[in-house]
A = this chain, B = another copy of it.
Protein backbone atom coordinates (compact mmCIF):
# COMPACT_ATOMS: atom_id res chain seq x y z
CA UNK A 1 0.00 0.00 0.00
CA UNK A 2 2.81 2.43 0.84
CA UNK A 3 5.65 1.28 -1.33
CA UNK A 4 8.17 3.92 -0.39
CA UNK A 5 8.36 3.97 3.37
CA UNK A 6 11.60 2.77 4.79
CA UNK A 7 11.45 0.40 7.69
CA UNK A 8 13.92 -1.94 9.24
CA UNK A 9 12.40 -5.21 10.28
CA UNK A 10 15.40 -6.96 11.66
CA UNK A 11 13.99 -9.61 13.94
CA UNK A 12 15.05 -13.24 13.68
CA UNK A 13 12.94 -15.53 11.60
CA UNK A 14 9.89 -16.32 13.60
CA UNK A 15 8.49 -19.81 13.57
CA UNK A 16 5.20 -18.37 14.66
CA UNK A 17 5.01 -16.22 11.53
CA UNK A 18 5.64 -19.31 9.41
CA UNK A 19 2.88 -21.11 11.26
CA UNK A 20 0.41 -18.23 10.73
CA UNK A 21 1.38 -18.05 7.08
CA UNK A 22 0.88 -21.77 6.47
CA UNK A 23 -2.46 -21.71 8.25
CA UNK A 24 -3.81 -18.35 7.10
CA UNK A 25 -6.97 -19.80 5.59
CA UNK A 26 -7.79 -21.78 8.73
CA UNK A 27 -7.05 -18.76 10.90
CA UNK A 28 -9.42 -16.55 8.88
CA UNK A 29 -12.12 -19.23 8.98
CA UNK A 30 -11.66 -19.63 12.74
CA UNK A 31 -11.93 -15.88 13.31
CA UNK A 32 -15.02 -15.68 11.08
CA UNK A 33 -16.59 -18.36 13.26
CA UNK A 34 -15.74 -16.45 16.44
CA UNK A 35 -17.35 -13.24 15.17
CA UNK A 36 -20.60 -15.13 14.70
CA UNK A 37 -20.81 -15.45 18.47
CA UNK A 38 -19.22 -12.18 19.53
CA UNK A 39 -19.93 -8.66 18.35
CA UNK A 40 -16.70 -6.87 17.49
CA UNK A 41 -16.07 -3.55 19.28
CA UNK A 42 -16.66 -0.52 17.04
CA UNK A 43 -12.93 0.17 17.04
CA UNK A 44 -9.77 -0.66 18.91
CA UNK A 45 -6.00 -0.56 18.87
CA UNK A 46 -3.58 -3.12 20.23
CA UNK A 47 0.00 -2.63 21.37
CA UNK A 48 2.09 -5.66 20.48
CA UNK A 49 5.54 -6.79 21.49
CA UNK A 50 7.54 -9.04 19.20
CA UNK A 51 10.34 -10.96 20.95
CA UNK A 52 11.18 -13.12 17.97
CA UNK A 53 10.23 -16.30 19.81
CA UNK A 54 7.01 -14.74 21.04
CA UNK A 55 4.46 -12.22 19.73
CA UNK A 56 1.90 -10.95 22.20
CA UNK A 57 -0.52 -8.11 22.92
CA UNK A 58 0.41 -6.03 25.95
CA UNK A 59 -2.42 -3.51 25.83
CA UNK A 60 -5.81 -3.23 24.17
CA UNK A 61 -7.26 0.26 23.75
CA UNK A 62 -10.99 0.61 23.14
CA UNK A 63 -10.75 4.39 22.50
CA UNK A 64 -7.93 4.56 19.97
CA UNK A 65 -6.34 7.97 19.68
CA UNK A 66 -3.84 7.63 16.85
CA UNK A 67 -5.82 7.34 13.62
CA UNK A 68 -3.73 10.29 12.40
CA UNK A 69 -0.66 8.05 12.59
CA UNK A 70 -1.98 5.68 9.93
CA UNK A 71 -0.60 6.33 6.49
CA UNK A 72 -3.26 7.93 4.32
CA UNK A 73 -3.04 5.05 1.88
CA UNK A 74 -4.86 3.01 4.55
CA UNK A 75 -7.82 5.40 4.39
CA UNK A 76 -9.81 3.35 1.84
CA UNK A 77 -9.56 0.29 4.10
CA UNK A 78 -10.69 2.38 7.06
CA UNK A 79 -13.68 3.69 5.13
CA UNK A 80 -14.74 0.25 3.97
CA UNK A 81 -14.47 -1.17 7.49
CA UNK A 82 -16.32 1.82 8.93
CA UNK A 83 -19.13 1.23 6.44
CA UNK A 84 -19.44 -2.25 7.86
CA UNK A 85 -19.42 -0.99 11.46
CA UNK A 86 -21.94 1.74 10.71
CA UNK A 87 -24.40 -0.73 9.23
CA UNK A 88 -24.67 -2.29 12.63
CA UNK A 89 -25.32 0.88 14.59
CA UNK A 90 -27.01 3.35 12.26
CA UNK A 91 -28.35 1.32 9.34
CA UNK A 92 -31.14 3.74 8.58
CA UNK A 93 -29.85 6.92 10.18
CA UNK A 94 -26.87 9.05 9.41
CA UNK A 95 -26.04 11.40 12.27
CA UNK A 96 -23.29 10.58 14.70
CA UNK A 97 -21.99 12.54 17.68
CA UNK A 98 -18.30 12.11 18.42
CA UNK A 99 -17.24 12.85 22.01
CA UNK A 100 -13.44 13.26 22.24
CA UNK A 101 -10.99 13.56 25.09
CA UNK A 102 -10.66 17.01 26.68
CA UNK A 103 -7.24 17.64 25.11
CA UNK A 104 -7.76 20.91 23.27
CA UNK A 105 -4.06 21.69 23.06
CA UNK A 106 -2.74 18.30 21.98
CA UNK A 107 -2.47 18.82 18.23
CA UNK A 108 -1.69 15.16 17.59
CA UNK A 109 -4.81 14.08 19.38
CA UNK A 110 -6.94 16.68 17.58
CA UNK A 111 -5.64 15.38 14.25
CA UNK A 112 -6.76 11.93 15.37
CA UNK A 113 -10.27 13.29 15.97
CA UNK A 114 -10.27 15.01 12.57
CA UNK A 115 -9.12 11.83 10.83
CA UNK A 116 -11.74 9.76 12.58
CA UNK A 117 -14.49 12.22 11.64
CA UNK A 118 -13.20 12.15 8.09
CA UNK A 119 -13.33 8.34 7.89
CA UNK A 120 -16.85 8.23 9.31
CA UNK A 121 -17.95 10.97 6.91
CA UNK A 122 -16.71 8.92 3.97
CA UNK A 123 -18.65 5.99 5.36
CA UNK A 124 -21.84 8.03 5.09
CA UNK A 125 -22.29 9.63 8.49
CA UNK A 126 -22.87 13.28 9.28
CA UNK A 127 -20.40 13.65 12.13
CA UNK A 128 -20.27 16.52 14.60
CA UNK A 129 -18.09 16.82 17.66
CA UNK A 130 -19.50 17.44 21.12
CA UNK A 131 -17.14 18.45 23.88
CA UNK A 132 -17.40 17.57 27.56
CA UNK A 133 -15.38 20.67 28.43
CA UNK A 134 -17.43 23.17 30.46
CA UNK A 135 -15.72 26.10 28.76
CA UNK A 136 -16.96 25.07 25.32
CA UNK A 137 -20.22 27.00 25.51
CA UNK A 138 -20.51 27.76 21.81
CA UNK A 139 -19.13 26.23 18.61
CA UNK A 140 -15.36 26.65 18.78
CA UNK A 141 -13.18 26.09 15.74
CA UNK A 142 -9.60 24.97 16.26
CA UNK A 143 -6.88 25.19 13.61
CA UNK A 144 -4.84 22.05 13.13
CA UNK A 145 -1.17 21.97 12.07
CA UNK A 146 -2.04 20.34 8.74
CA UNK A 147 -4.40 23.17 7.78
CA UNK A 148 -7.59 21.35 8.75
CA UNK A 149 -10.13 22.85 11.12
CA UNK A 150 -12.03 21.09 13.87
CA UNK A 151 -15.19 22.49 15.44
CA UNK A 152 -16.07 21.52 19.00
CA UNK A 153 -19.64 22.18 20.08
CA UNK A 154 -21.34 22.20 23.48
CA UNK A 155 -23.32 19.06 24.30
CA UNK A 156 -27.09 19.36 24.69
CA UNK A 157 -28.92 16.79 26.78
CA UNK A 158 -32.67 16.39 26.19
CA UNK A 159 -34.38 13.67 28.22
CA UNK A 160 -32.64 10.39 27.45
CA UNK A 161 -30.90 11.72 24.34
CA UNK A 162 -27.62 13.52 23.83
CA UNK A 163 -26.90 15.83 20.93
CA UNK A 164 -25.96 19.34 19.91
CA UNK A 165 -28.10 22.31 19.08
CA UNK A 166 -30.26 21.20 16.12
CA UNK A 167 -28.45 17.86 15.95
CA UNK A 168 -30.10 14.69 17.23
CA UNK A 169 -27.73 11.80 16.44
CA UNK A 170 -28.59 8.10 16.27
CA UNK A 171 -25.40 7.22 18.10
CA UNK A 172 -22.79 8.68 20.41
CA UNK A 173 -19.26 7.52 19.62
CA UNK A 174 -16.91 7.93 22.56
CA UNK A 175 -13.27 8.67 21.88
CA UNK A 176 -12.90 9.50 25.54
CA UNK A 177 -11.79 6.67 27.80
CA UNK A 178 -13.69 7.94 30.86
CA UNK A 179 -10.59 7.82 33.06
CA UNK A 180 -12.08 10.61 35.17
CA UNK A 181 -15.36 8.78 35.70
CA UNK A 182 -18.59 8.73 33.69
CA UNK A 183 -19.97 12.27 33.34
CA UNK A 184 -23.66 12.50 34.28
CA UNK A 185 -24.51 13.85 30.85
CA UNK A 186 -23.48 10.50 29.32
CA UNK A 187 -25.52 8.34 31.68
CA UNK A 188 -28.87 6.71 30.91
CA UNK A 189 -28.95 7.52 27.20
CA UNK A 190 -31.55 4.82 26.82
CA UNK A 191 -32.75 5.57 23.30
CA UNK A 192 -29.34 6.06 21.68
CA UNK A 193 -26.42 3.79 20.96
CA UNK A 194 -23.42 4.71 23.08
CA UNK A 195 -20.31 3.12 21.62
CA UNK A 196 -18.18 1.74 23.04
CA UNK A 197 -20.54 1.12 25.97
CA UNK A 198 -19.85 3.10 29.16
CA UNK A 199 -18.51 0.02 30.92
CA UNK A 200 -15.65 -0.05 28.37
CA UNK A 201 -14.29 3.12 29.97
CA UNK A 202 -11.51 3.00 32.53
CA UNK A 203 -13.95 3.88 35.30
CA UNK A 204 -14.97 0.24 35.32
CA UNK A 205 -12.68 -1.56 32.90
CA UNK A 206 -9.73 -3.60 34.21
CA UNK A 207 -6.75 -4.86 32.24
CA UNK A 208 -6.74 -8.03 34.31
CA UNK A 209 -10.29 -8.85 33.18
CA UNK A 210 -9.28 -8.26 29.59
CA UNK A 211 -6.26 -10.52 29.87
CA UNK A 212 -8.29 -13.20 31.62
CA UNK A 213 -10.58 -13.21 28.56
CA UNK A 214 -7.49 -13.17 26.34
CA UNK A 215 -6.22 -16.28 28.18
CA UNK A 216 -9.26 -18.19 26.97
CA UNK A 217 -9.13 -16.80 23.42
CA UNK A 218 -5.42 -17.61 23.14
CA UNK A 219 -5.97 -21.10 24.57
CA UNK A 220 -8.67 -21.87 22.03
CA UNK A 221 -6.71 -20.38 19.12
CA UNK A 222 -3.52 -22.19 20.10
CA UNK A 223 -5.40 -25.47 20.33
CA UNK A 224 -6.69 -24.99 16.80
CA UNK A 225 -3.14 -24.37 15.52
CA UNK A 226 -1.54 -26.90 17.89
CA UNK A 227 0.90 -24.38 19.31
CA UNK A 228 1.85 -23.42 22.86
CA UNK A 229 -0.50 -20.56 23.87
CA UNK A 230 2.38 -18.95 25.76
CA UNK A 231 3.86 -17.99 22.38
CA UNK A 232 1.08 -15.43 21.95
CA UNK A 233 0.10 -14.80 25.56
CA UNK A 234 1.93 -13.02 28.39
CA UNK A 235 1.51 -14.37 31.92
CA UNK A 236 -0.06 -11.99 34.38
CA UNK A 237 -1.16 -11.62 37.98
CA UNK A 238 -2.92 -8.86 39.86
CA UNK A 239 -3.04 -7.17 43.23
CA UNK A 240 -6.29 -5.51 44.24
CA UNK A 241 -5.46 -3.44 47.28
CA UNK A 242 -2.39 -1.33 46.76
CA UNK A 243 -1.53 2.01 48.25
CA UNK A 244 1.90 3.03 47.07
CA UNK A 245 2.05 6.05 49.36
CA UNK A 246 1.21 4.04 52.46
CA UNK A 247 3.23 0.99 51.31
CA UNK A 248 0.11 -1.13 51.56
CA UNK A 249 0.10 -4.27 49.41
CA UNK A 250 3.85 -4.57 48.86
CA UNK A 251 3.77 -8.25 49.88
CA UNK A 252 1.08 -9.08 47.35
CA UNK A 253 3.05 -7.23 44.69
CA UNK A 254 6.32 -9.00 45.55
CA UNK A 255 4.60 -12.38 45.62
CA UNK A 256 2.92 -11.84 42.23
CA UNK A 257 6.12 -10.54 40.67
CA UNK A 258 7.98 -13.56 41.96
CA UNK A 259 5.33 -16.04 40.82
CA UNK A 260 5.19 -14.50 37.35
CA UNK A 261 9.00 -14.39 36.99
CA UNK A 262 9.19 -18.05 38.07
CA UNK A 263 6.74 -19.08 35.39
CA UNK A 264 8.59 -17.05 32.75
CA UNK A 265 11.93 -18.60 33.77
CA UNK A 266 10.49 -22.07 33.28
CA UNK A 267 9.29 -21.17 29.79
CA UNK A 268 12.60 -19.53 28.91
CA UNK A 269 14.37 -22.71 29.98
CA UNK A 270 11.97 -24.83 27.92
CA UNK A 271 12.60 -22.74 24.78
CA UNK A 272 16.28 -22.02 25.44
CA UNK A 273 15.72 -18.27 25.65
CA UNK A 274 18.70 -16.56 27.25
CA UNK A 275 17.19 -13.11 27.84
CA UNK A 276 16.61 -11.92 31.37
CA UNK A 277 12.95 -12.31 32.35
CA UNK A 278 11.10 -9.19 33.48
CA UNK A 279 7.61 -8.10 34.35
CA UNK A 280 5.75 -4.85 33.82
CA UNK A 281 3.82 -3.52 36.82
CA UNK A 282 1.08 -1.09 35.81
CA UNK A 283 -2.28 0.28 36.86
CA UNK A 284 -5.06 -2.24 36.28
CA UNK A 285 -7.35 0.60 35.20
CA UNK A 286 -5.73 3.24 33.08
CA UNK A 287 -3.91 4.29 30.05
CA UNK A 288 -1.37 6.64 28.54
CA UNK A 289 1.53 4.66 29.87
CA UNK A 290 1.42 6.34 33.25
CA UNK A 291 2.14 4.36 36.39
CA UNK A 292 4.27 1.76 34.63
CA UNK A 293 7.40 0.04 35.97
CA UNK A 294 9.81 -2.58 34.62
CA UNK A 295 10.75 -5.12 37.33
CA UNK A 296 13.38 -7.85 37.07
CA UNK A 297 13.28 -9.12 40.65
CA UNK A 298 10.65 -9.19 43.40
CA UNK A 299 12.97 -7.32 45.74
CA UNK A 300 12.66 -4.24 43.54
CA UNK A 301 9.04 -3.62 44.52
CA UNK A 302 9.44 -3.85 48.26
CA UNK A 303 11.84 -0.99 48.76
CA UNK A 304 10.50 1.70 46.41
CA UNK A 305 11.71 5.20 47.16
CA UNK A 306 9.36 8.17 47.38
CA UNK A 307 9.90 9.24 43.77
CA UNK A 308 9.10 5.76 42.46
CA UNK A 309 6.06 5.47 44.67
CA UNK A 310 4.78 8.86 43.50
CA UNK A 311 5.29 7.86 39.90
CA UNK A 312 3.35 4.63 40.33
CA UNK A 313 0.51 5.98 42.39
CA UNK A 314 -1.09 8.45 40.00
CA UNK A 315 -2.26 8.01 36.43
CA UNK A 316 -4.22 10.10 33.92
CA UNK A 317 -6.68 12.67 35.30
CA UNK A 318 -4.96 12.36 38.67
CA UNK A 319 -6.63 9.06 39.47
CA UNK A 320 -5.12 7.10 42.36
CA UNK A 321 -3.81 3.63 41.57
CA UNK A 322 -5.09 0.98 43.96
CA UNK A 323 -5.15 -2.05 41.67
CA UNK A 324 -2.22 -3.20 39.59
CA UNK A 325 -1.57 -5.85 36.98
CA UNK A 326 1.76 -7.65 36.92
CA UNK A 327 2.33 -8.62 33.30
CA UNK A 328 5.04 -10.77 31.77
CA UNK A 329 7.41 -8.46 29.93
CA UNK A 330 8.01 -9.23 26.28
CA UNK A 331 11.29 -7.97 24.83
CA UNK A 332 11.00 -6.24 21.52
CA UNK A 333 13.45 -7.29 18.83
CA UNK A 334 12.25 -4.68 16.40
CA UNK A 335 14.41 -1.67 15.85
CA UNK A 336 13.64 1.16 13.48
CA UNK A 337 16.10 3.96 12.79
CA UNK A 338 18.14 3.00 15.84
CA UNK A 339 15.14 3.15 18.15
CA UNK A 340 13.22 0.39 19.89
CA UNK A 341 9.97 -0.21 18.05
CA UNK A 342 6.61 -1.56 19.16
CA UNK A 343 3.85 -2.26 16.63
CA UNK A 344 0.40 -0.75 17.20
CA UNK A 345 -2.41 -2.27 15.16
CA UNK A 346 -5.63 -0.39 14.40
CA UNK A 347 -8.97 -2.07 13.86
CA UNK A 348 -12.44 -0.94 12.85
CA UNK A 349 -15.22 -3.45 13.35
CA UNK A 350 -13.53 -6.84 12.92
CA UNK A 351 -11.11 -5.58 10.29
CA UNK A 352 -7.47 -4.64 10.63
CA UNK A 353 -7.23 -1.27 8.92
CA UNK A 354 -3.60 -0.36 9.45
CA UNK A 355 -0.93 0.26 12.01
CA UNK A 356 2.27 1.99 12.89
CA UNK A 357 5.41 1.53 14.92
CA UNK A 358 5.88 3.43 18.12
CA UNK A 359 9.60 4.17 17.97
CA UNK A 360 11.50 5.42 20.98
CA UNK A 361 15.20 6.09 20.82
CA UNK A 362 15.61 6.65 24.56
CA UNK A 363 14.23 3.41 25.87
CA UNK A 364 15.50 -0.13 26.22
CA UNK A 365 14.08 -3.31 24.74
CA UNK A 366 12.42 -4.24 28.01
CA UNK A 367 10.76 -0.94 28.78
CA UNK A 368 7.34 0.53 28.17
CA UNK A 369 7.54 2.76 25.09
CA UNK A 370 4.32 4.70 25.59
CA UNK A 371 5.81 6.86 28.29
CA UNK A 372 4.27 10.16 29.38
CA UNK A 373 5.95 13.34 28.28
CA UNK A 374 8.16 11.37 25.92
CA UNK A 375 7.64 11.89 22.22
CA UNK A 376 7.49 8.73 20.18
CA UNK A 377 7.89 8.69 16.45
CA UNK A 378 5.06 6.96 14.66
CA UNK A 379 6.17 5.05 11.57
CA UNK A 380 3.32 3.85 9.37
CA UNK A 381 3.30 0.18 8.41
CA UNK A 382 4.64 -0.43 4.94
CA UNK A 383 1.89 -2.78 3.80
CA UNK A 384 -1.53 -3.96 4.88
CA UNK A 385 -2.12 -6.70 7.39
CA UNK A 386 -4.49 -8.87 5.37
CA UNK A 387 -2.43 -10.02 2.42
CA UNK A 388 0.15 -12.57 3.53
CA UNK A 389 2.31 -13.86 0.68
CA UNK A 390 3.50 -17.45 0.85
CA UNK A 391 6.02 -16.77 -1.89
CA UNK A 392 7.96 -14.50 0.47
CA UNK A 393 9.87 -15.26 3.66
CA UNK A 394 7.89 -15.39 6.91
CA UNK A 395 9.49 -12.16 8.08
CA UNK A 396 8.81 -10.26 4.85
CA UNK A 397 6.73 -7.17 5.55
CA UNK A 398 3.33 -8.49 4.37
CA UNK A 399 3.79 -11.66 6.40
CA UNK A 400 5.04 -10.00 9.55
CA UNK A 401 2.18 -7.51 9.35
CA UNK A 402 -0.24 -10.36 8.77
CA UNK A 403 0.99 -12.00 11.99
CA UNK A 404 0.52 -8.69 13.80
CA UNK A 405 -3.00 -8.45 12.44
CA UNK A 406 -3.82 -11.96 13.63
CA UNK A 407 -2.64 -11.42 17.21
CA UNK A 408 -4.27 -7.99 17.31
CA UNK A 409 -7.59 -9.53 16.29
CA UNK A 410 -7.25 -12.13 19.04
CA UNK A 411 -6.98 -9.25 21.51
CA UNK A 412 -9.98 -7.58 19.86
CA UNK A 413 -11.94 -10.79 20.24
CA UNK A 414 -10.94 -10.96 23.90
CA UNK A 415 -12.20 -7.37 24.30
CA UNK A 416 -15.51 -8.42 22.81
CA UNK A 417 -15.78 -11.33 25.26
CA UNK A 418 -14.69 -9.05 28.12
CA UNK A 419 -17.36 -6.45 27.29
CA UNK A 420 -20.05 -9.12 27.11
CA UNK A 421 -19.03 -10.50 30.47
CA UNK A 422 -18.81 -7.14 32.19
CA UNK A 423 -22.03 -5.67 30.77
CA UNK A 424 -24.10 -4.15 33.61
CA UNK A 425 -27.18 -6.34 33.08
CA UNK A 426 -25.05 -9.37 33.79
CA UNK A 427 -23.38 -7.76 36.78
CA UNK A 428 -26.80 -7.17 38.31
CA UNK A 429 -27.60 -10.84 37.99
CA UNK A 430 -24.40 -11.76 39.84
A interface residues (Cβ-Cβ under 8 A, vs B)? 1, 3-4, 24-29, 31-33, 35-36, 73, 75-77, 79-81, 83-84, 86-87, 91-94, 121-126, 351, 384, 386-388
Contacts and interface: CB of A to CB of B under 8 A. Distances in A.
A81, A125, A387: most-surrounded residue (chain B CB, <10 A): A387
Contacts of A386: 76, 79-80, 122
A189 B76 CA distance: 37
B32 A124 contact: yes
B125 A79 contact: no
A261 to B, nearest CB: 38
A388 B121 CA distance: 10
A302 to B, nearest CB: 49
Contact of A32 (B3, B75, B86, B121): B86
Nearest to A125: B25
Contacts of A86: 32
Nearest to A124: B28
A11 to B, nearest CB: 23
A76 B75 CA distance: 12
A86 B25 CA distance: 13
A36 B32 CA distance: 22
Contact of A351 (B1, B28, B80, B124): B80
Contacts of A121: 24-25
A36 to B, nearest CB: 6
23 contacts: A24-B122, A25-B94, A25-B121, A26-B94, A28-B122, A29-B93, A31-B124, A32-B91, A32-B92, A33-B92, A36-B92, A75-B387, A76-B387, A77-B80, A79-B386, A79-B387, A80-B80, A80-B351, A80-B386, A83-B351, A84-B84, A122-B386, A122-B388
B80 A29 contact: no
Contact of A29 (B35, B77, B94): B94
A94 B25 CA distance: 8
A108 B94 CA distance: 42
Contacts of A387: 75-76, 79, 122
Contacts of A92: 32-33, 36
